[in-house]
């Protein structure tokens, strides 16, 4: 491929369209919202950008800091569960036969072919009061009650559905359900590039599978693991749809608070400040990961 320094006009002409698109539909709107974060409402539809930091000060009040902290904790738990579940799956795909790898990867990527809203409603149908899980438990409960009645012990009380929705359990389960592929794919990419001979040598020397995984596989795949953790944590932190549909009143995350500021409260400056605090946190995480990768590349 030709070096862009030798044909700067050609590469500038090719890059001008995507750069213009990025500026008009990403940089410029983000700059407007960023300006709103330093403004205040002067009417129902008018915002005065006065340079005030009052919105950021309000965002640091205990109420919103608690919601932000809870969002971080929920995102961290989601990321940890995705790693525990996704690592064995990624290993299974990486060490599978070549003819099976494309099909296994296809199964991981299939959820991306379906709208997130549809997948969330499908999970609601499974976990609802009359959903598949509760229906299965109810049939088992009624069968046990019938056996007890036939044996003369008397029938059980009528079955009461288990509350599986609109709580923190449903929130974390939904986030894991949505973000698990984001963890599996980077882990697979890292594990697939490993030198298999080192793993075989570790096993031949009697290290065992667990020691081989903890002392050989995980350290060698650490860049991919960190990428998977970051790629999973960031969207989980800013998740909106899953907490809105599956979480209860005590399971709302920071993205739901931002949505209410823009829609119901009509306080765009405060919503913009909350949005950019979330964006600043994301940039810090990405910068730390980039610095770590650069440091490892120099060593």
The pLDDT of residue 283: 87
Give me the tens of pLDDT residue by residue for the chain, a chain 299 residues long: 556 566 677 777 778 888 999 999 999 999 999 999 999 988 777 888 888 899 999 988 998 999 999 999 999 999 999 999 999 999 999 988 888 999 999 999 888 888 888 899 989 989 888 888 888 888 888 888 887 777 777 777 787 888 888 889 999 999 999 999 999 999 999 998 888 888 888 887 887 888 888 888 888 888 889 889 999 999 999 898 999 999 877 788 999 999 999 888 888 999 999 999 888 888 888 888 788 777 776 76
Number of H helices, E strands in the chain: 15, 2
**Whether the Cβ atoms of residue 183 and residue 231 lie closer than 8 Å to each other:** yes
**Whether the Cβ atoms of residue 243 and residue 171 lie closer than 8 Å to each other:** yes
The pLDDT of residue 178: 93
The pLDDT of residue 79: 96
Q: Which domains does the chain have, with CATH numbers?
A: 62-128+164-298 (1.10.3720.10)
26 DSSP 8-state letter: I
Is the pTM higher than 0.85? Answer: yes
Q: How many CA atoms lie within 13 A of 40 on its CB side?
A: 8
Q: Which of 228, 287, 244, 192 is nearest to 85 (CA)?
A: 228
What are 49's two structure tokens? Answer: 């950008």
DSSP for 188-214, please give it: HHHHHTS-HHHHHHHHHTT-HHHHHII
Question: Which three-class secondary structure state does DSSP give residue 47?
Answer: strand
């Amino acid at each position: 491929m030709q070096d862009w320094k030798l044909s700067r006009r050609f590469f500038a002409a090719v890059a001008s369209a995507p750069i213009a698109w990025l500026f008009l539909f990403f940089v410029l709107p983000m700059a407007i919202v960023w300006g709103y974060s330093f403004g205040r409402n002067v009417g129902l539809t008018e915002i005065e950008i006065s340079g005030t930091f009052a919105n950021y000060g309000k965002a640091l009040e205990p109420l919103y800091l608690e919601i932000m902290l809870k969002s971080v904790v929920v995102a961290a738990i989601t990321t940890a569960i995705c790693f525990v579940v996704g690592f064995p799956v990624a290993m299974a795909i990486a060490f599978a036969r070549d003819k099976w790898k494309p099909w296994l990867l296809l199964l991981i990527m299939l959820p991306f072919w379906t709208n997130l809203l549809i997948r969330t409603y499908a999970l609601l149908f499974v976990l609802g009061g009359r959903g598949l899980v509760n229906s299965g438990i109810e049939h088992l409960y009624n069968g046990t009650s019938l056996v007890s009645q036939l044996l003369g012990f008397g029938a059980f009380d009528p079955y009461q559905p288990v509350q599986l929705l609109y709580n923190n359990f449903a929130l974390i389960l939904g986030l894991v359900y949505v973000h698990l592929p984001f963890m599996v794919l980077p882990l697979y990419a890292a594990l697939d590039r490993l030198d298999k001979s080192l793993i075989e040598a570790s096993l031949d020397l009697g290290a065992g599978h667990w020691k081989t995984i903890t002392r050989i596989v995980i350290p060698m795949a650490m860049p991919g693991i960190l990428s998977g953790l970051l790629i999973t944590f960031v969207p989980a932190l800013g998740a909106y749809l899953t907490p809105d549909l599956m979480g209860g009143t005590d399971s709302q995350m920071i993205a739901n608070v931002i949505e209410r500021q823009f829609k119901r409260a009509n306080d765009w400056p405060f919503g913009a400040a909350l949005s950019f605090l979330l964006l600043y946190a994301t940039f810090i995480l990405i910068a730390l990961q980039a610095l770590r990768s650069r440091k490892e590349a120099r060593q």
